[in-house]
């Protein structure tokens, strides 16, 4: 699996780290793990680091997967400056915000963490 989902107890967040090529099925498995951690720990803050992702599912798959994700989470997504998937980042943020999700794209981890804990 090229996506790892962990519960960072020290920060009180769910961390999602992706690298390489990510398949739709891997995103669906990661979402199931996020929901499991949320149900067990009550955590709703997600830091997704996709700076090392080389290729992800297409826009339609990403839209479908994201559309099925439950409300009530706060998502901070990290991308590198010249991210090959960066063209879709604005789309993902726009779709999420338009559907009532709290989601934002960042390039710097500290900025993402600051936003996650800003209420």
pTM for the model:
0.86
Residues in a beta bridge with 103: 75
Read off the pLDDT of residues 14-63 as tens digits, 9 standing for 90 and up. 999 999 998 889 989 999 999 999 999 999 999 999 888 888 887 778 77
Q: Which two tokens stand for residue 119?
A: 């209420």
Q: Where are the domains of the chain?
A: 3-116
- The pLDDT value recorded for residue 60 is 79
Residues in a beta bridge with 4: 17
Per-state percent for the chain, helix, strand, coil, to nearest 5: 40, 30, 30
Please tell me the CATH superfamily of domain 3-116, with its number. STAS domain (3.30.750.24)
CA atoms within 13 A on the CB side of 88: 16
């Amino acid at each position: 699996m090229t996506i790892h989902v962990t519960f960072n107890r020290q920060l009180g967040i769910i961390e999602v780290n992706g690298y390489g090529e990510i398949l739709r099925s891997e995103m669906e498995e990661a979402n199931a793990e996020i929901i499991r951690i949320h149900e067990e720990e009550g955590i709703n803050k997600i830091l997704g680091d996709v700076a090392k992702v080389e290729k992800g599912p297409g826009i339609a798959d990403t839209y479908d997967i994201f559309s099925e994700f439950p409300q009530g989470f706060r998502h901070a997504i990290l991308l590198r400056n010249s991210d090959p998937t960066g063209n879709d980042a604005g789309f993902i943020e726009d779709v999420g915000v338009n559907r009532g999700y709290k989601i934002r794209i960042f390039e710097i981890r500290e900025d993402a963490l600051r936003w996650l804990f800003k209420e």
